[in-house]
């Protein structure tokens, strides 16, 4: 069974629109990481969340972790074509080092 579920799997939005990507864990997280991947390239670190209720923002991207530390959301405000790519959430469940990743959300932004 998939321990980390991302939704939606793909998303097409008009430039300027807001959007949200969700990541749900089957168990309490120690840390939750958001990355962006351009097709055929490596992963770019976006944000890391550790505390229940934590919220972080960078430019037009905001990530939140719920109080129970089992669900995170990534919100993009006023999307731009440069936001297009695959967004991956990664879970660290026991401070063990390895990250378990969701299946990814492919975002397309139409000009």
Q: How many residues bind another protein (CB under 8 A)?
A: 24
9 binds another protein, rule: CB under 8 A: no
DSSP output for the chain = --SEEEE-SEEEEETT--EEEEEEESS--SEEEEEEE-TTS-EEEEEEE-STT-EEEETTEEEEE-TTSSEEEEEESS--GGG-EEEEEEEESSSSS--EE---EEEEEE-
- Interacting residue with another protein among 35, 63, 84, 93 (CB under 8 A): 35
85 binds another protein, rule: CB under 8 A: no
CB-wise, 18 or 94, nearer to another protein? Answer: 94
87 binds another protein, rule: CB under 8 A: no
- Interacting residue with another protein among 50, 57, 80, 108 (CB under 8 A): 50
48 CB-side CA count, 13 A: 8
CB-wise, 47 or 79, nearer to another protein? Answer: 47
42 binds another protein, rule: CB under 8 A: yes
45 binds another protein, rule: CB under 8 A: yes
């Amino acid at each position: 069974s998939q321990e980390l579920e991302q939704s939606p799997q793909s998303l097409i939005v008009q430039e300027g629109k807001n959007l949200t990507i969700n990541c749900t864990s089957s168990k309490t997280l120690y840390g939750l990481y958001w990355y962006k991947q351009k097709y055929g390239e490596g992963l770019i670190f976006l944000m890391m969340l550790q505390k229940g209720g934590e919220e972080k923002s960078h430019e037009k991207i905001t990530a939140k972790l719920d109080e129970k530390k089992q669900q995170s959301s990534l919100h993009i405000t006023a999307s731009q074509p440069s936001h297009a790519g695959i967004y991956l959430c990664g879970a660290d469940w026991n401070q063990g080092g390895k990250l378990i990743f969701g299946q990814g959300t492919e975002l397309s932004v139409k000009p």
